[in-house]
Amino acid sequence: MDYQAITLVVRNGVAVITLNRPELMNALNTQMRAEITHAVKAAEKDARVLIMTGAGKSFCSGQDLGDAGSGGALDLERTLRDEYVPMLKAIFDCRIPTIAAVNGPAAGAGANLALAADVVIASEAAYFVQAFTRIGLIPDAGGTYWLPRQMGAAKAMGAALFGDKISAQDAADWGMIYETAPAETFLEHVQARAAQLAQGPTVAYRQLKKAIRGSFENSLDAQLALEAKLQGRCGQTRDFQEGVMAFLEKRPARYEGR
């Protein structure tokens, strides 16, 4: 696919998708959503970890309200169902670990796009805002799913109702994201985090995501059974054998992802 609204670069097992409409704060239009969906599926075949970030000073300002291709305000249901859902599911279901590197403001659907990733790392210069009620809408792009799970019902309700800016540090303190990094060293920090995952046991990472996500719906008995099943799969991998040998031999493990 010839990408126009994003870029995709794969190097040393790390795929980087960059939202590339900096003149519009990387606002999401029909083309960008389709390209992100395609790029995520391509990346999980060629890489061991995926980073998603924004070009320029913003991560993503949300829906491009001037995008005629999205069907306009009268067809928001179709836009969400046919364009947002495939994109968000591609990220959420990605077989490799995903990192949202929030380099700047993340607003509306842009904030919730970031939350679809496994891990969100934000620059201390970034902020998040659920701007939907400002234009008479409710949070979408998965916001009503991720926010209460990650920051609790009280914080989620307040963030959605008031549409306040949430600093990167507050987002981390409230459990909305994983961590922050200084703006001047943000890129290096994200790259180091990605390199760590790219060198890790990818099969275990896949099973780990299933286990943690399953815990929200399972009873204790069901979760313990799921743990046992998934751990059994991990125990049959070469990665497990390599991890044990590396531990015994006091050397770094060299994981193959099988």
Q: Tens digits of per-residue pLDDT, 138-159?
A: 999 999 999 999 999 999 999 9
Q: Tens digits of per-residue pLDDT, 178-204?
A: 999 999 999 999 999 999 999 999 999
Q: What average pLDDT does the segment 151-173 reach?
A: 97
What CATH number was assigned to the domain covering residues 6-198?
Answer: 3.90.226.10
The two structure tokens encoding residue 145? 């799913």
* Element spanning 165, H or E: strand 165-167
What CATH number was assigned to the domain covering residues 202-249?
Answer: 1.10.12
| pLDDT for 72 | 46
In whole angstroms, give the CA distance from residue 6 to residue 195.
Answer: 22
In whole angstroms, give the CA distance from residue 161 to residue 179.
Answer: 24
Please state the length of the chain: 258
Would you list the domain boundaries of the chain?
6-198, 202-249
Name the average pLDDT for the chain.
94
pLDDT of 223 over the 70 cut: yes
CB-based contacts of 98, cutoff 8 Å, min separation 6: 40, 49, 50, 51, 52, 91, 116, 117, 118, 119
pTM of the model as a whole: 0.93
